[in-house]
Chain A
């Protein structure tokens, strides 16, 4: 049952779950975004390890080299990294706005304030 050639996936799964745990279990919005980045990087790692060929080299054509790693995952992930930073920037901008509007970036404090405001509206 033990497959020695699969350890790369297990590393990815571990990192992914650590990121997921931070996103789910922590209430601080900035920490959630860091967790999301960790998760994202683990997905990048998954793609890149899939493209690796035993004995291959970087996909830059050169004399005397015949085995190259798969260039297509590299292209995909290059795009994904840049788009990932764009989404992180947008998320951080939202966090800053939330801090200005509520004076807090803790999830439970935000909920508390929302409930208080709702009660005030009703009464």
Chain B
């Protein structure tokens, strides 16, 4: 994963960068399997590595595939990133340890969901039960967000052909 990131930062060929982005997503998905989040891994592999890659390639075919080599090599971005990273690492020193069953996140409502989900929703997969049953309205809201994004994309790109024909007519 680190190597992939390094190449994404270094390479100037956008096609390679986008492909490496897909590989990065796939690696993240396999990491989610290791971390017991199988549903998330499915989604990341299908949506993150699949659909976004196709979208990126489609956008590339409409634009350029080569990045201009940067003329300015500012030290400022690197400095900002290093300072922010140091601050975040300092912040993690107080965090609960990896896999700790007594961490605050495991103490709140999560055990209730695991205990009651089967009886209340008859779905053995707790993630599905919470997503589709307990928080069904939120998932509906999510669908509205995606719909809005789809409408936005269509408004931005939908009338391209008409506009091009108009431009040709003028010439």
Contact = CB atoms under 8 A, between A and B. Distances in A.
B133 to A, nearest CB: 11
Interface residues of A, number: 81
Chain B interface residue bracket vs A: 35 or more
Given A61-B126, A71-B113, A52 B98 contact: yes
Contacts, number: 255
Interface in A5-38: 5-10, 13-18, 20-22, 24-28, 30-31, 33-35, 37-38
B149 A89 contact: yes
Interface in B17-53: 17-18, 21, 24-25, 28, 31-32, 35-40, 43-44, 47-48, 51-52
17 contacts: A6-B92, A8-B98, A9-B95, A10-B92, A13-B89, A38-B5, A44-B28, A56-B36, A60-B126, A70-B110, A71-B113, A71-B114, A72-B109, A78-B39, A79-B139, A83-B145, A85-B47
Given A21-B9, A68-B36, 9 more contacts: A13-B89, A20-B81, A21-B78, A21-B81, A31-B17, A41-B28, A50-B103, A81-B44, A92-B59
